[in-house]
Amino acid sequence: MTTSKISLSALRVACSNCNLRELCLPLRLSLKEIERIEDMVSTRKRIKRGEALYRTGDHFDNLFAIRLGFLKSTVMSSDGREQVTSFHMAGELVGLDGIASDVHSCDVIALEDTEVCVLPYERMLEITTSMRSMGQHFHKILSREIVRQHGIMLLLGSMHAEERLAAFLLNLSQRFESRGYSRSEFVLRMTRAEIGSYLGLKLETVSRVLSRFSHDGLIQVNQKHVQILNATGLRAIVSGQQPLDGEEPFDDDIRLDP
């Protein structure tokens, strides 16, 4: 009995052992509650690099928790323009777009071989409507996504190319760090074109700005390999301050009214 249970959960899911637990479930849960959540995870699924987890128009049945890998979400306009709306890393939840109308409204593509936990929304609904804490937690996940997108709108609506890229690199850095990887050295899983799409820039601009950062000693780039040398400098760029270069000692800088 006990044995079979242990072996079962070990075989099947074992959220309780998952090193991503803190990312998926940032709540204090009792063991009993965790068990219920483990019941929710029906299967795992592997997606090879370049393949789709789902596509626009697919019926929505499941949410997905990323165990391992890297994906992008893209939306496409009627005339074929594509926009990358986000990059997803281990521990993040994907598929929220489908809840709105039971049909997915974006493509999610693996940028490297990826493994996800499949969470049937029906079961999620049972849990969120029977455990108040999980109901609230799920609301928070959705709301967090809304708030995150506010930040992207700010970026797309009011930042220059350099500011966008600096913000992008810092964001990646922070996310890698919170997953236990180096915050100063990582590999970009996406192409320049995909970065550009995400940031509202053309791939040439992305390349040029990265080169400029590299030339200014802020980062070191070699194809997909990036090393952050001066995070403070990047942060200054995001805040709109020009890095004090060459012969121009920064005089009293730009005040925006309080």
Partner DNA sequence: CGTTTCGTTGAAGAGTGTCAAGGCCAGTGG
Partner DNA sequence: CCACTGGCCTTGACACTCTTCAACGAAACG
Please give the residue ranges that form the binding site for its own copies (CB under 8 A): 75, 77-83, 85, 96-101, 105-106, 125, 128-132, 135-136, 138-140, 142-147, 149-154, 156-159, 197-200, 239-241, 256-257
Q: Does 221 bind DNA (CB under 7 A)?
A: yes
Q: List the beta strands (DSSP E) in 4-152.
A: 43-47, 52-54, 62-76, 82-89, 93-94, 107-120
Q: In this structure, are residues 154 and 100 in contact, taking their beta carbons and an 8 Å threshold?
A: no
Number of residues located near DNA, criterion CB under 7 A? 23
The one of its own copies, DNA, none whose footprint includes residue 171, by CB under 5 to 8 A per kind, is none
The angle that helices 161-178 and 132-158 make with each other, rounded to 10 degrees, is: 150
The answer to whether the Cα torsion of 176, 180, 186, 190 is positive or negative is negative
- Minimum CB–partner distance for residue 257 and DNA (Å): 12
Q: Does 193 bind DNA (CB under 7 A)?
A: yes
Q: Does 241 bind DNA (CB under 7 A)?
A: no
The one of its own copies, DNA, none whose footprint includes residue 193, by CB under 5 to 8 A per kind, is DNA
Region of 40-48, 75-83, 171-179, 185-193 interacting with DNA (CB under 7 A): 185-193
Nearest-5° Cα angle at 115, 102 to 137: 55
How many angstroms separate the CA atoms of 172 and 179, rounded?
11
Q: Does 47 bind DNA (CB under 7 A)?
A: no
